[in-house]
Amino acid sequence: MEQRVLVEDIVTLLPVERGIATTRLVLRLLCTDMILYAGVACQDALEKRVGNQLKEAMHEDLLIPNTDNFVATLYDVDCMERMLQQFIATNTLAFAASLEI
């Protein structure tokens, strides 16, 4: 219980600015969050943060072990999909804004 609260507190204390917290650190916090079954809001915040800076991630860091015992995949594909959707959404908006200049 204390570990979950600690992870959630660390996530809330992370600076909002992109790039200050390394992608590797955020991905490790996400893995820890999933292992400890911390809050869904915490997981969503971490997934969005990773999605916003996905191009800085190393491929081996993106292999997040699946913590659901009822799923046959070794890695959490759904989590990766959500991070990728955030990355696409963020970069689509940035690309559209650059075209309006």
- CB-based contact 50:30 (threshold 8 Å): yes
CA 28, distance to chain mean position in Å, is: 9
> Where do runs of H (alpha helix) occur along the chain?
2-13, 23-36, 40-52, 77-99
Read off the pLDDT band of 71 (50, 70, 90). confident
Give the span between the Cα atoms of 21 and 17, in whole angstroms: 8
pLDDT at 101 over 70: no
pLDDT at 10 over 90: no
pLDDT of 16-56, one tens digit each?
Answer: 888 788 999 999 999 999 988 888 999 999 999 999 999 89
Read off the pLDDT band of 87 (50, 70, 90). very high
Domain range for 34 is: 2-99
The total number of structural domains in the chain stands at 1
CA dihedral over 87, 27, 31, 59, signed as positive or negative: positive
- CB-based contact 43:34 (threshold 8 Å): yes
